[in-house]
Structure 1
Amino acid sequence: MFSLFKNKIYLALTLLVFTIGVGIFGYRFIANFSWVDAIYMTVITITTVGFGEVMPLTAEAKIFTVILILCSVVIVGFAISVISEYIISKSSYNDLKHKKMQDTIDNFKDHVIVCGYGRNGQQAVQKLMAYKKQFVIVELDEDLIERYDDNDGILFVHGNANEDETLELAGITRASTLICALPDDADNLFIVLSARQLNSDLKIISRATVETSQKKLMLAGANNVVMPDRIGGDHMASLVVVPDLVNFLDNLSVSGEGDSINVQEVAFDKVCPDGKELTIREVDLRNRTGCSIIGYKTPSGKYTVNPAANQKIEHDSKLIVLGRPEQIKNLHEAFGV
């Protein structure tokens, strides 16, 4: 729709420039005005401001002026109407789009809110999209929103994430997780405090730039604090110390469409659908899918690496499994992960 409006605007501007050019050259060569006087006469004639002539006009110049006035009135009127229609239609379209977007967000539940759509925010969104998680992005930069809001159905809330009203528009009381990906630690700290007050059950993951902010964010209510710069430095150092191990881990995929995943987490209700607690041996996941259990997370959040076969799988616990893509696919089919 707006491409049609843009074509009309280009046409109107082209006609307007053509009319001004004709007026300047007409007064220059028909009325023998200087270039400055020709430009002046053209402008006051097209805009119909009613100023006087710079010098008396000949009969030919008067006829030319009459034609120029009639043409310019039509062309200027056309240009004004097209530009006004475009502005009004775009405003109405944006209002309708934002209302539709907000209606969709209002129906979300247990979704993820991402505060900030910078480099880290975009990486988080890509991972969420790979896992087909519902998410909403809170972003203050309106230009950034206009650049991305039509891509892949991404939903934005325009506003300052420091304000409770903005978080409420994003559905903070119904969300399951909040990701604070703003570059400033103070902003992230304020968001964590506000979000924790609005939703005590919310899982909050925050970015931190300096180590001194990490403890403060945890005290404010963040469940996890990630320092991208430190992670990057550790990763580069590991490539020096244990390069083969790091390359192997880098090749493990934990997201995708199922044809490239190597690591997967499995909740208790998937391996024990009847609610009865079983041991790892009784689940027999290795023989049924080919995947290996490399980790076990207790209900309290404690991790056990390479758990024993007699490890009982408790309620609200999780298994971490490793396998080739086809084995992960078998896991999905056998346990509905």
Structure 2
Amino acid sequence: MRKITLKFLKKLATKYATSGVLLIIGLFIYGIVGSYIIMDLNLIDSLYYSVSTMATVGYGDYIPITTTQKIFATTLALGGVALLAYVFNIILTNFQERMEKFSKGAIKMRTIKNMDDYFILCGYGRVGKVVLDELMQRNQNVIVIDKDKDVCENIKESSNVVVINKDAVENDYITKFVNEKCNSVILCTGNDVTNLFIVLTIRENNPDAWIVVRASKVENISKLRKAGADKIVSPEIMGGQGLYFESTKPHLLKITVKHTTDEIFNEFEIIAKHGCTLENIEYHLPGIETPLIRKIKTMSMADGMKYQNYLKTHDDQKQALDNLYKNTNNIHSHFISGPDKHTFDRLTKELEKTEEIIGINLSNEEIAKLTSKNIKN
């Protein structure tokens, strides 16, 4: 009940601040006119009597005698008390709101400052929620910007998720966070015009930023591309998960390797050690361009150990996996997401010590040509 009352008072004070001032002026005029006519005072004394009565000072130099005078003095005093309390509530509430905003804003800015890197998610709707879920599953740092206060209040903040209730377009606000620490900007607002304006704003201030945009209408894709968007995703074609993958393209590695099933856990251990996520595995049948895709999406060592124990206790599954590796000549590709290029460099160097690396970011066509040689041999 207390929270509801405070919330009501805050809204009331903000909404009727101007009305409160007008009511005080109206009451003041009522006091002067009433004092002049009812109390039979001159203009200066009417002004003095109105102020002292409204402020409930009551020096007693002018005493109402008649019934009319007493009713007038009573209404003037009660009106003054009520309006002064109301104005005081406005001042106190506005001060409290400003202090809360300043305090929360300072904490948010400090959290962002302490982040090594982050993604910016602008717009938290149906698509934005999916994108945020994908980012949080991978323990990524995220700054969520949305102009809807109710939407922002429903997003759970943490040490790696900061929510800012601002209009990204207003005063080029979003450009404050697009710097060398920003991995990617993901625009998920449902308004293509807003997305277009944000892209132009970011490009003007940071030509190197990686920008992924949601296009609500297919016909606006070319406009967004011309404005400077690196990747444009239409929900008609691709969902929120697609937006995430496009946003991580600078930090998404496809590494084609060759090893047996006995080396799976060692490989996964290295990937997890570097804080990366194994998104999926592609198995390449010799000479066939389209691979067999197996979704993994994990970065937990517990998952790796669980899978290793599963293979040890399920001979049929281990045999099936051995057959798959045999049919692909042990050649397969890993899609790995990670924090930055330097991490991938360290990861690749360590993997080279334990397995044969065939190539980095090879296309399916290139891999098919390589594996087709195995058929001839």
1:158–1:303 distance in 2 versus 1, CA, 3 Å:
farther
Tell me what 1:285 maps to. 264
Instruction: Identify which of 57, 67, 73 aligns with 2:80.
Output: 73
Residue number in structure 2 paired with 1:85: 92
Residue 113 of structure 1: CA displacement? 0.7
- 1:209 counterpart SS class: coil
Aligned residue in 2 for 1:224: 231
Q: CA deviation at 1:81?
A: 1.1
| Preserved contact between residue 282 and residue 292 of structure 2 (Cα < 8 Å) | yes
**1:105 is aligned to 2:109:** no
AA aligned to 2:331 is: Q
Conserved? CA contact 1:113–1:137, under 8 Å: yes
Could you give the per-residue CA deviations for residues 40-89 of structure 1, whole angstroms, max 9, x where no partner exists? xxx75895343455899983333333333333333322222122211222
Query: Secondary structure in 2 aligned to 1:176?
Result: strand
**RMSD over aligned Cα atoms:** 4.9
Q: What amino acid does structure 2 have at the position aligned with 1:182?
A: T
Residue 158 of structure 1 corresponds to 166
Alpha-carbon distance, 1:130 to partner: 4.2
Residue in structure 1 matched with residue 305 of structure 2 by the alignment: none
Q: How far apart, in 2, do the equivalents of 1:71 and 1:285 lie?
A: 82
Q: Could you say which residue in structure 1 is the equivalent of 2:31?
A: 48
Structure 1 residue 6 displacement after superposition: 3.1
The answer (yes or no) to whether the contact 1:162–1:187 under 8 Å persists in 2 is no
Residue type of the alignment partner of 2:292: V
When the two structures are aligned, how many residues end up with a matched partner? 239
Conserved? CA contact 2:281–2:335, under 8 Å:
no
CA change 1:71–1:181 in 2 (3 A) is: same
Normalised by the length of structure 2, the TM-score is 0.48
Matching of residues 1-337 of structure 1 within 5 Å: 3=3, 6=6, 9=9, 48-51=31-34, 52-53=36-37, 59-139=66-146, 141=147, 144-145=148-149, 147-149=151-153, 151-153=155-157, 154-156=162-164, 158-161=166-169, 165-192=172-199, 194-195=201-202, 202-215=209-222, 217-218=224-225, 221-230=228-237, 279-281=258-260, 284-285=263-264, 294-295=281-282, 304-306=291-293, 308-311=328-331, 318=335
Instruction: Name stretches of at least 5 consecutive residues in structure 2 with no aligned partner.
Output: 14-25, 41-63, 245-251, 269-277, 294-324, 338-377
Distance in structure 2 (CA, Å) of the matches to 1:202 and 1:7: 40
Deviation at 1:179, TM superposition (A): 0.8
| In 1: Cα distance, 2:86 partner to 2:231 partner | 56
Which SS does the other structure have where 1:206 is aligned? strand
**Residue type matched to 2:335 in 1?**
K
CA distance in 1, matches of 2:8, 2:108: 29
Q: TM-score, normalised by structure 1?
A: 0.53
- 8 Å contact kept, 1:207–1:225: yes
Shift of 1:319: 6.3
Deviations for 1:121-140, whole angstroms, at most 9, x for unmatched residues? 3342344344443211233x
Q: Say if 1:130 and 1:94 are closer, same or farther in 2 by CA, change over 3 A.
A: same
Contact 2:152 2:164 in 1 (8 A): no
The 2-side partners of 1:49 and 1:136 are apart by 56
1:324 maps to none
| Structure 2 Cα separation of the partners of residues 4 and 215 of structure 1 | 48
Query: Could you tell me whether the CA contact under 8 Å between 1:114 and 1:121 is conserved in 2?
Result: yes
Structure 2 residue identity aligned to 1:305: L
Q: Secondary structure at the match of 1:106?
A: helix
Partner SS, residue 260 of structure 2 = helix
- Listed one character per residue, the Cα deviations across residues 271-330 of structure 1 (whole Å, up to 9, x for unaligned) are xxxxxx9624155438999x9x75269xxxx984358242166xxx5269xxxxxxxxxx
